[in-house]
Amino acid sequence: MAQKVSVIVPAYNGAKRIERTISSIVEQDCDDIEIIVVDDASSDGTGEVAGDALARSGRDFRIITREANGGCAASRNSGLREASGDYVIFFDADDIADPDFVSTLLGAITKNDSEVAFCGYRKLFEETGEEREVPLGLHHARHYSAEELTVMYIFSRIKPAIWTTIFKKSFLTSVGLEFTEVCRFAEDVEFLTKAFSRSRSIFFSTGCHYTYLQHVDMMSKTTRQTRDKFIRRYADNAAVVCRTARYLAEHAESPKVRDVAVNFMMAEGLIKTLNVAAMRNDEAEYYRMLSEPETRWTLAASRRYFFQKPEVFVKAARLLFAPRAYFRKRLKSCG
């Protein structure tokens, strides 16, 4: 029985490159694909360019036009709610993929009856044409449990991305998983970590089938990184870690993952939150947090995972035993 794949493409002011992206999806060797482009209130005609390209493609497609810009998380959620496929892939609006990208991921997830499957990718530098592979570093013949892959991802030993991953749609629906729309940074990491933690089975292809384009119009390159913007992005990241840790502690299938959440991730998120207070020169909040017994217990608990990621416990120890010096260093580091 054929399995339908919904390819969801969030897009904002991407008219310059989206036609190439659409062509890359249209040319996939998988027959049953639904292409959903979510135009996030673009001002450059992105939706029209995508619609024209798709109208000529012969593929099943939809254009969803959002009235107001809500960010990538909101756009992905809009596409996910409208997706009719058995499986979903989130594809960035300026990237491309090999013709067998969808079929490779579909084969991996269906062959192993998994909830999630992923592959490696390449970085393509548009100005120079240079390509760099970002392989998974996993052995193709070895079996990895969902627990093992989740822990490896938490400790950054593997680096799958949201756009190199396929999800079983019924799985996402059953666990009620969506992107956190208030988050504008690292929302994809939060979603992927949560999905991994709820999965019974995760599989992968060791090949690099997706191309992540690096170009001058990327948001990170076009947005001037002022001090305030840096702190806001950092605070967003801190919130992601804290929110994900709490979610895993409550919902993760594996006791090991729940332990990592409680005794490592919560400390990491707390350290980042204390860093934000220091960077904002908010001594009152910084010392209020450090005075709480739960904060001190959480920081101390990170020693359990010292050998997995020693820098987290080192920072925790400095906060506990040299808070004044730590505060000054973080404040100075932010300029």
For the chain, the domains span: 5-222, 227-333
Please list, in sequence order, all residues whose beta carbon lies within 8 angstroms of the beta carbon of residue 328, skipping any fewer than 6 positions away. none
Identify the H or E element spanning 244: helix 227-251
| DSSP, res 304 | G
Over the stretch 89-98, which tens digit does the pLDDT of each residue have? Answer: 999 999 999 9
Over the stretch 149-168, which tens digit does the pLDDT of each residue have? Answer: 999 999 999 999 999 999 99
Structure tokens belonging to residue 151? 């822990």
Structure tokens belonging to residue 256? 């090991």
* CA triple 36-103-113, angle to 5 deg: 100
Distance in angstroms (rounded) separating the CA atoms of residues 293 and 284: 16
What is the pLDDT, as a whole number, of residue 183? 84
Tell me which residues of the chain have a pLDDT lower than 50: 221-223
Q: CATH code for 5-222? A: 3.90.550.10
Adjacent-strand bridge partners of 37: 9, 63
How do the residues of the chain divide into helix, strand and coil, expressed in percent and rounded to 5? 50, 15, 30
Pairing of strands 87-90, 5-11: parallel
Biggest distance spanned by C-alpha atoms of the chain: 65
Considering only CA atoms, which of 93, 73, 83 is closest in space to residue 11? 93
